[in-house]
Structure 1
Amino acid sequence: VQSSHAFTVHEAEQVDDFYAAADDAKLDRKRNPKPAEKTNALDFLDAADDAGAGMTGYQSLITGTFYRHAVLDRLKLRRNLRAAGMTEEEAEEASVAAEAEFVTAFVDAFPEAKKNSTASTGSLPALVLAFEGERPYNYAAAFQNPIDENPVGGGGEGPAGPAAVRRLLKHHAFVSGRRPDIKAGRVLTYDPQIDELLGTLKDTGALTVTSAEELTA
């Protein structure tokens, strides 16, 4: 397996987010002070107005449309399993299952850092392109020049999502025409806008599918 780091296909601006946090118990004490008749011997622990945690600070945030790339060597996977003692039939069955798990993991992957404070667990890819060749083909060069998100009429390419899809599939179709070992790819989208765009593209070098399972078919 090979994987490369993700990068934005457009110029992304870093935003410094100022935050303040305080201990909920501390705030609750200030809003609802204890009546004198309900005091007890341990009240001295909460006596100070500033008792409890509190902090302020900055965190750097960035968002964008990312390109990421991963490769699974299907032939080596089967050779390794047979070398480990599996029969050819057993190795094929295990390999097919592993391929499905690999593709599903790639499709469902999301940024783990600060996943609770950024809700990154809800993200799904705008487009997944899966294809097979005799060697890996990384299309990072398609985004060597960042996408200009200014309106199309103003000299730009419009929103990064659709623009990136057009660039990626154009690049794939171009390379496929010059590398006969590349088999027809498959694309999957979870974005209705991208799904509509795919219907307007004449040559994508890929067949549109509706599930992650079909990417490995």
Structure 2
Amino acid sequence: MKLPALEKATRNAVLTALAPRDAIDIALYGRFLAEIPDSPNVDGAIQSGHAFTVHEAEATDDFYAAADDAKIDRKNNALDFLDAADDAGAGMTGYQSLISGTFYRHAVLDRHTLRSNLRAAGMGEADAEVAAEAAEAEFVDAFVNAFPQAKKNSTASTGSLPVLVLAFEGSRPFNYAGAFQRPIDETDGPAGEKAVRVLMGHHRFVRGKRDDITEGRVLTYDPVMHAVLEELGISDVDSVRDLVR
């Protein structure tokens, strides 16, 4: 059955509510409304890659069991007759695979596309620049500080801070995942220090062959990595805000 077309007022209200000028996340991540065929699509300004460990990693299977404690209590007190047949409680066991390590994570923010999205939505040049700069700062802050919420209470992973963040600009996107195509050997110690040396060495090597990449800015929360950067002659910034200029 073919659905009727949206009324003009409803269509305009939907497009207004999802306009990049009023929803900065749409200007950043894009929009596609299949229900409104003639609506203008918005290409996302952000590219994100899946994180992977820079060394060999081994998954750990965490066994768990869950039971309906209230039902058990009712049964122990001869009150289980209160349980309806279709709601007799539940219990389960299973395994959850966990992994820990030093991860490489990559993202690109296309500053030109972000500003184009804002201007195309009717925002003036000056206002688009202000909104874009604010969005860039928020995105970088989220990239550094945000953590997935799943299993946060049973793993406490949200307490971690990045070993190192490298932010730079280029005429096109660059991904340094290839710097870790050979897993880092942890025989002599944790992978973090070696990973920093590999990443910064790779960045310096690429910059030596291209003139369309900036030197960039580096942030670390680890005193050991700070010492490594000093050894390499690299100055790190003091805060997330300093990564965006």
TM-score by length of 2: 0.71
Counterpart residue number, 2:185:
148
State the alpha-carbon separation in 2 of the partners of residues 159 and 46 from structure 1: 54
Displacement after TM superposition at 1:23 (Å): 5.2
Segment of structure 1 superposing worse, 52-61 or 134-143: 52-61
Q: Which residue of 29, 35, 59 corresponds with 1:14?
A: 59
The number of residues matched between the two structures is 194
Q: Deviations for 1:60-82, whole angstroms, at most 9, x for unmatched residues?
A: 21111110110011112112222
CA contact (8 A) 1:112 1:120 kept: no
Counterpart residue number, 1:213:
241
State the alpha-carbon separation in 1 of the partners of residues 80 and 119 from structure 2: 67
State the alpha-carbon separation in 1 of the partners of residues 73 and 243 from structure 2: 53
Q: Which residue of 198, 202, 218 corresponds with 1:167?
A: 198
CA contact (8 A) 1:22 1:54 kept: yes
State the alpha-carbon separation in 2 of the partners of residues 21 and 85 from structure 1: 53
Confirm or deny that 1:45 pairs with 2:79: yes
Following superposition of structure 1 onto structure 2, how do residues 47-196 of structure 1 map, counting pairs within 5 Å? 55-151=92-188, 158-196=189-227
Q: Which one has more relative contact order, counting CA pairs under 8 Å at least 6 apart?
A: 1
Gaps of 5+ in 2: 1-45, 82-87
Displacement after TM superposition at 1:26 (Å): 7.6
Counterpart residue number, 2:10:
none
Displacement after TM superposition at 1:54 (Å): 5.1
Displacement after TM superposition at 1:117 (Å): 1.4
Identity rate of aligned residues, in percent? 70
Displacement after TM superposition at 1:16 (Å): 1.6
Displacement after TM superposition at 1:27 (Å): 8.3
Displacement after TM superposition at 1:21 (Å): 4.3
Displacement after TM superposition at 1:55 (Å): 4.4
State the alpha-carbon separation in 2 of the partners of residues 5 and 143 from structure 1: 14
Q: Deviations for 1:132-190, whole angstroms, at most 9, x for unmatched residues?
A: 01001100000000000001xxxxxx311111111000000110111101112001111
Structure 2 counterpart SS, 1:166: helix
